[in-house]
Amino acid sequence: MLLIFPPVAKPCEPPAGIALLSSALKENGIDCKCIDANVDGLLWLINSVGKDKATDSWTRRALKNRAAILNDLGNPDLYTNVDRYHQRVYDLNHLVAVSVDRSRFRISLSDYSDNQLSSVDSTALLDSAASYRENPFFPYFEEKLRPVIESWNHAWIGISLCYLNQALVGFALAGWIRDNFPGKILVMGGGLISSWMSRPDFNNPFSSLIDHLVKGEGESPLLALLGKPGMEKKHYVPDYGFADNYDYIAPAKILPFRASIGCYWSKCRFCPEKAETRPYSTQRADRVLGDLDVMVENHNPGVVHFIDNAVTPAFLHALARQACAFKWYGFVRFEKDFADPQFCRALKQSGCEMLKLGLESGDQKVLDDMGKGTDLELASATLANLKAAGILTFVYLLFGTHYEDEAAAYRTLDYIKAHKSDIDYLNLSVFNLPKFSEDAKGLVTHEFYHGDLSLYLNFEHPGGWTRRNVKSFIDKEFKKQLGVGSRFRKNPAFFSSNHAMFFNNLDGPQTHIQ
């Protein structure tokens, strides 16, 4: 089976989904090849920019330094200078942007949009498939993917869509394959497809284009489709052999690893996965650690990115008991284990460089009402202990839930101001209401994005804390009060938390929040 991961996603690490599928298929005797068309396609766009585009000084500079930019972003030395790093990233992103028709398409290193077609409308997605020649990646399909598919002697092709930014390109790819290789059998899966299929009103609008849609973890369905029913296992060791064929934009070899499926907490009322009723699944920490050891032995990563919704305390303790041969980071909850400074130091000694933490709010009542299960006193101790241990913290805040009002938002501001010395990065988000959540039933709602595949709603806040008010508060109050002299690190442009840990050895005062 040929597995393809289409553009656009952050091109700094290989996709975990097709690596797991590849492992499952190969272990069951099925020939498999993985193509990361995301990083390959973006680099193709970057390298396709010709001198005819050099109509301004920025483009001329970026073109002149194109090779040096890519080389520098792969050099750890660049990550000791925030300003120089951002110049390189913005120049590289500019080459991506000018490689296409900017009157219609907006493409960056992390985003894709088309002002004529919507990513959340099934008719528009089918139009993207039918008009694949208009897609900016069509020449890439012809030049790079055609020889691979022509030489592939098997009928099955899988397309993995994890992010909304991949949807229009993924369907253009499907339309191109259907038109040019009519004998191929198309399967489409991934996190985005699973979310769409979880809608209670989903009635597969893609049956004329896609032969099989796969919901949830793909190993078992694919094995069944390919004549190996009952051969699946709960966990496979990811097969990242294909990643050696690509030049990822990062200063180290990053490999994603998933120790669990779903979320072990699963009580946050605002979480979209709760609306999808995705079951939690994991294995014993020692078994998962064994799988990790095999992946590390096979592929020798410099960094492991744990992509769990939240790494479990049991697995964190397993990591803390050993000195890993790699650096690592991932998402965790504010658990009581972090109140122990010795445990935090052990995590650092194991290779932990950064932890991402979903604080969401600095108001205890808001946290309680949203079912977050976070105690602010414990959160304070956690942040202080991680800072003392030398572990970066990337803290996520969520404004505008119907549990929050303006006074609660100011209490969040006060909490962050009181703990600014213990927080390295901040990610500020405005709440989108999951369309089929329990909370949506009790609110007056409006369509957020028009389209039959939209997953979110706008709503009338019961306390009048409107989306416009929330955005104004973030820009005019929160950022203004924390922007000067706060020492928060500037989030890496486009790559955000995926590059953030590489700045752990940064010296001197930091810049500002975004």
What digits encode the pLDDT tens for the residues 220-255?
899 999 988 765 555 689 999 999 999 999 999 999
- What type of residue sits at position 507? D
Number of Cα atoms under 13 Å in the Cβ half of residue 475: 7
| DSSP H/E element including 415 | helix 406-418
Q: What mean pLDDT, rounded, does the chain reach? A: 93
Segment among 79-83, 152-156, 261-265, 320-324 with least mean pLDDT: 261-265
What is the average per-residue pLDDT within 456-467? 93
Residue 133's pLDDT band, with cuts at 50, 70 and 90, is very high
Question: Which residue has tokens 């089929």?
Answer: 436
Would you tell me how many other CB atoms lie within 10 Å of the CB of residue 114?
A: 21
CATH H-level superfamily of 252-503: tm_1862 like domain (3.80.30.20)
Backbone φ, ψ for residue 231 (5° rounding): -100, 0
pLDDT at position 449 is 79
| DSSP H/E element including 113 | strand 112-114
Q: How does strand 352-360 pair with strand 392-399? A: parallel
pLDDT at position 487 is 75
Please give the residue that has the higher pLDDT: either 122 or 260.
Answer: 122
33: helix, coil or strand? strand
329 forms beta bridges with: 305, 354
Q: With 50 as the cut, is the pLDDT of residue 176 above it? A: yes
Number of Cα atoms under 13 Å in the Cβ half of residue 318: 17
Distances (CA, A) of 93 to 69, 77, 139, 149, 187: 11, 20, 20, 29, 31
Q: Where are the domains of the chain?
A: 2-226, 252-503
Check if the beta carbon of residue 35 is closer than 8 Å to that of residue 5. Answer: yes
Number of Cα atoms under 13 Å in the Cβ half of residue 20: 26
pLDDT at position 277 is 52
**Cα 148 from Cα 194, distance rounded (Å):** 27
**Cα 360 from Cα 428, distance rounded (Å):** 9
The token pair that represents 42 in the structure block: 């973006």
Would you tell me how many other CB atoms lie within 10 Å of the CB of residue 324?
A: 17
**Cα 236 from Cα 315, distance rounded (Å):** 17
Please give the residue that has the higher pLDDT: either 382 or 267.
Answer: 382
Residue 72's pLDDT band, with cuts at 50, 70 and 90, is very high
DSSP alpha helix (H) spans, 103-145: 122-130, 138-140
Closest to 472 in 3D by CA, of 406, 424, 386: 406
Residue 99's pLDDT band, with cuts at 50, 70 and 90, is very high
Q: Which conformational region is residue 71 in: left (phi greater than 0), alpha (psi within -120 to 50 degrees), or beta?
A: alpha
